[in-house]
Structure 1
Amino acid sequence: MSKRKIYRILGNTVWLLLIAGVVVLMFTSMQVRETKPCAGVIINIDAVEGKIFIEEKDVRNMLAASVGGNLKSDIHQFDLRKMEERLRKEIWIQDAQLYVDNEAVLHVNIQERVPLARIFDTQGSTFYIDSAGMQLPISRSDRAEVPVFTGLPALNNNNKAMHKQAIAAVLKVVSAMQQDEFWDAQAAQIEYLPGNRFELYPAIGFHTVDLGDTSDMKNKLQRLKLFYQQVMAKQPIDAYSRISVAFKNQIVASKGADSLRSVDAAQALKLFNQLVEQSKNEVNATAIEMTAGQGRIVQEAETGIKTELPVTTNNKTPAANNKPITPKNNDSVKTPKAILSPNNNNN
Structure 2
Amino acid sequence: MWKKRIQFIAWCTLGAGILVLLVMAMRKKDEAQCTDIKIEIEGAQDHVFVDEKDVLDVLKRNGAAVKAPLAGIPLRRLETILEKDAWIKEANLFFDNNHVLQVKIEEREPLARVFTKQGNSFYIDSSGKRLPLSDKLSARVPVFTSFPSERVHLSGPDSAVLQDVRHIADFIARDSFWVEQVSQIDITSQHTYEMTPVLGNQVIMLGDASDLEGKFGRLLSFYKQVWTKTGFEKYEKIDVQYSGQVVAVKKGTAKQVIDSARAMEVLTNGMAQVNSMLGDTSGVRKLAAQATLAKAVKDTAHTAAAAPPKPPAVRPKPGAATAAGNKHPAAAAKPPAGTAVHGGAPKPRAVMPARKNKR
TM range, smaller chain: 0.5 to 0.7
Instruction: Give the structure 1 partner of residue 343 of structure 2.
Output: none
The reply on whether 1:289 has 2:265 as its aligned counterpart is yes
Following TM superposition, by how much is the alpha carbon of 1:155 offset from its aligned partner in structure 2, in angstroms?
Answer: 2.1
**Paired AA for residue 289 in structure 1:** E
Following TM superposition, by how much is the alpha carbon of 1:208 offset from its aligned partner in structure 2, in angstroms?
Answer: 1.1
Give the alignment partner of residue 37 of structure 1, picking from 29, 33, 36.
33
Following TM superposition, by how much is the alpha carbon of 1:164 offset from its aligned partner in structure 2, in angstroms?
Answer: 1.4
Following TM superposition, by how much is the alpha carbon of 1:80 offset from its aligned partner in structure 2, in angstroms?
Answer: 1.4
Q: Pick 1 or 2: higher relative contact order, CA cutoff 8 A, min separation 6.
A: 1
Q: How does 1:1-347 map to 2 (within 5 A)?
A: 31-46=27-42, 48-67=44-63, 72-156=67-151, 160-257=155-252, 288-290=264-266, 315=301
- 8 Å contact from structure 2 (residues 37, 65) kept in 1: no
Following TM superposition, by how much is the alpha carbon of 1:57 offset from its aligned partner in structure 2, in angstroms?
Answer: 2.7
Question: How far apart, CA to CA, are the structure 2 residues paired with 1:28 and 1:316?
Answer: 94
Pair 1:207–1:104, CA change in 2 (3 A): same
- 8 Å contact from structure 2 (residues 45, 109) kept in 1: no
Following TM superposition, by how much is the alpha carbon of 1:289 offset from its aligned partner in structure 2, in angstroms?
Answer: 2.7
- 8 Å contact from structure 2 (residues 47, 109) kept in 1: no
- 8 Å contact from structure 1 (residues 64, 71) kept in 2: no
Question: How far apart, CA to CA, are the structure 2 residues paired with 1:82 and 1:316?
Answer: 71
Pair 1:204–1:98, CA change in 2 (3 A): same
TM-score, length-normalised on structure 1? Answer: 0.64
> Please, which moves more after superposition, 82-91 or 153-162?
153-162
Question: How far apart, CA to CA, are the structure 1 residues paired with 2:262 and 2:180?
Answer: 25
Question: How far apart, CA to CA, are the structure 2 residues paired with 1:27 and 1:215?
Answer: 65
Higher strand share: 1
**Paired AA for residue 147 in structure 1:** P
Following TM superposition, by how much is the alpha carbon of 1:31 offset from its aligned partner in structure 2, in angstroms?
Answer: 4.7
Following TM superposition, by how much is the alpha carbon of 1:46 offset from its aligned partner in structure 2, in angstroms?
Answer: 1.3
Q: For the pair shown, which has the larger CA radius of gyration, 1 or 2?
A: 2
**Paired AA for residue 59 in structure 2:** L
TM-score, length-normalised on structure 2? Answer: 0.62
Following TM superposition, by how much is the alpha carbon of 1:312 offset from its aligned partner in structure 2, in angstroms?
Answer: 9.4
Pair 1:252–1:65, CA change in 2 (3 A): same
5+ unaligned residues in a row in structure 2: which ranges? 1-13, 254-260, 268-296, 304-359
Question: How far apart, CA to CA, are the structure 1 residues paired with 2:232 and 2:264?
Answer: 18
Question: How far apart, CA to CA, are the structure 2 residues paired with 1:243 and 1:27?
Answer: 77
The alignment's C-alpha RMSD in Å is 3.2
**Paired AA for residue 149 in structure 1:** F
Pair 1:25–1:139, CA change in 2 (3 A): farther
**Paired AA for residue 222 in structure 1:** G
Pair 1:47–1:159, CA change in 2 (3 A): closer
Pair 1:106–1:27, CA change in 2 (3 A): farther
Q: SS of the residue aligned with 1:231?
A: helix
Taking only the aligned residue pairs, the percentage that are identical comes to 35
Question: How far apart, CA to CA, are the structure 2 residues paired with 1:233 and 1:89?
Answer: 50
- 8 Å contact from structure 1 (residues 115, 130) kept in 2: yes
Following TM superposition, by how much is the alpha carbon of 1:188 offset from its aligned partner in structure 2, in angstroms?
Answer: 0.7
Q: SS of the residue aligned with 2:33?
A: coil
Pair 1:192–1:74, CA change in 2 (3 A): same
